[in-house]
Structure 1
C-alpha cells in the first residue's frame, strides 16, 4: 500500500503550523540530533506534539507516562506541560534511543522532570506501583503490544485520566490522549486495519485492541481518521469511565 502524502495535506499542516507553533531551538535540536544518530523519523509532528501538550495542560497533569521514547521529541512537548513538581516517566526499549533522548531532553532543560526507563515496556510497567497513579499516558511503543499496555493503564492511570495510545503509523503518527480518556494513534494505518489481507503484527495488534475496547465496561472509545504531512492514518480516543 502506498505511503503517498498528498501535497495539499502537507501544505495545510505547514500553513496551520506557521500560525500555531513558534520557532523552537530545543525541538529543532532534538530533530537534528535524532537524525544525526540515524533514528527513524517517526516522531510526532509539531502540531501533534502541541496537541499532546495542550491535552496534558487541559487536565492539569502532574504525572505523565510515555511508552516509546524514541528521540524524546514528544517527551519534550509533554514535559513542558508539567508544573515545576511534575514528573514524566518514559519507557524505551532501545538503549541507543534512550541515550539520544536523554541528550535532547537535557538540552531542552527538562532532565529534572523526566525519567527514562530502558528495557521492554511491559517489564517496566509491571514494576510500577498502581497506588501512584498517572494523570496522562501516551502509548507509542511497539503496536503489537497495545492490548497489553491498555490493560496496565487500567491500573496505572487514574479515573478521569488521559491515555494516549499509539497503534503504529507507517510514518510519523498522531498521538493519543485520554482524560479518563485515552487516545490511541496510528489506528487506521492507511486502511490496513480494516483490510484483512494485511496480517502484520501492528495491524493485528490494533484489531485486538479494538476488540478489547468493544468488550470493555471500563472504556468508551471512538476512532477518527486523519491526513497531513505524515500521510493517512488516525487515532482512537478512549474515555475511562
Structure 2
C-alpha cells in the first residue's frame, strides 16, 4: 500500500535534497543487494531533524551499511559523534568505507553486535536517536535510550507504518483501541513502541508518512 498519492510522491521526489556521489553510490548498492534503506526523502528529513535540534551526538539502533548515518553525519559539527550499530560485520565494514569516502570517519563510532547491549555501554546524552532495528525490539530500544535523550532531543522510529515484517492494518486497529486478535511479534513490537511514545508525557510524537512511515518523538521535558 502506497502511503502517498502518486502526485504527492512525485512532489516529494522533486523536493529531495541533492545527494553527493557517495550517497548515490549507496542507493545503487542498496538496490543491487535488495537492502531496504530509509531512502532519500527520509534521509533528508533525518539530516534536517539533526540540524533543527543542533545535534552533537546521535545513536542508531540498526545502521546497515551506513546510509542513514551518512545523512545524519552531514549535520554534525566538528567533534560530533554518531554511533552506528550493526549485527552484520560485512555491512559495518561497508559503512566504514562509505563514511570515510564522505569525510565523516572521524565522527563515527562503529559498533558490531546487538544495539541493545551497545547502548548500555554509552553514557548520554544523545540528541537524536534512530530506531531501525528488529521491530520486536522497538519497545526495548525506547526503554534503553529514553533517559539518555535530553529535553529538546528527538527519537525517530523508521518503519512506523510499513515494512515486510508487520501488519499495518493491525497496528491501526490497536492504536484505535480495537482488538484485531493475535498479531505477530514484529507487529506487536511496533504497536507497543508507538503506544509508549504516544502516551509518554515527556514526549510529543507525530507520525510522518515519508518512506515507510516514521514516528518523530520530541522530548518536551526532562
When normalised by structure 2's length, the TM-score is 0.83
Q: Is the 8 A contact 2:56 2:80 kept in 1?
A: yes
Instruction: Compute the RMSD of aligned alpha carbons.
Output: 2.7
1:33 maps to 29
**Residues 34, 16 of structure 1: CA spacing in aligned structure 2 closer, same or farther, 3 A cutoff?**
closer
SS in 2 for 1:51: helix
Greater strand fraction, Structure 1 or Structure 2: 1
Aligned partners of 2:90 and 2:182: how far apart in 1? 30
**Residues 167, 108 of structure 1: CA spacing in aligned structure 2 closer, same or farther, 3 A cutoff?**
same
**Residues 114, 194 of structure 1: CA spacing in aligned structure 2 closer, same or farther, 3 A cutoff?**
same
SS in 2 for 1:70: coil
SS in 2 for 1:134: coil
2:163 maps to 170
Moved more, 105-114 or 12-21: 12-21
Greater helix fraction, Structure 1 or Structure 2: 2
Q: CA deviation digits over 1:6-36, x for unaligned, max 9?
A: 8953x54344433442252110111233445
1:234 maps to 213
Equivalent pairs, count = 213
* Unmatched runs of 5 consecutive residues or more in structure 1: 172-185
* Unmatched runs of 5 consecutive residues or more in structure 2: 174-179
Is 1:207 paired with 2:203?
no
Measure how far apart 1:64 and its partner are.
0.8
When normalised by structure 1's length, the TM-score is 0.77
**Residues 209, 112 of structure 1: CA spacing in aligned structure 2 closer, same or farther, 3 A cutoff?**
same
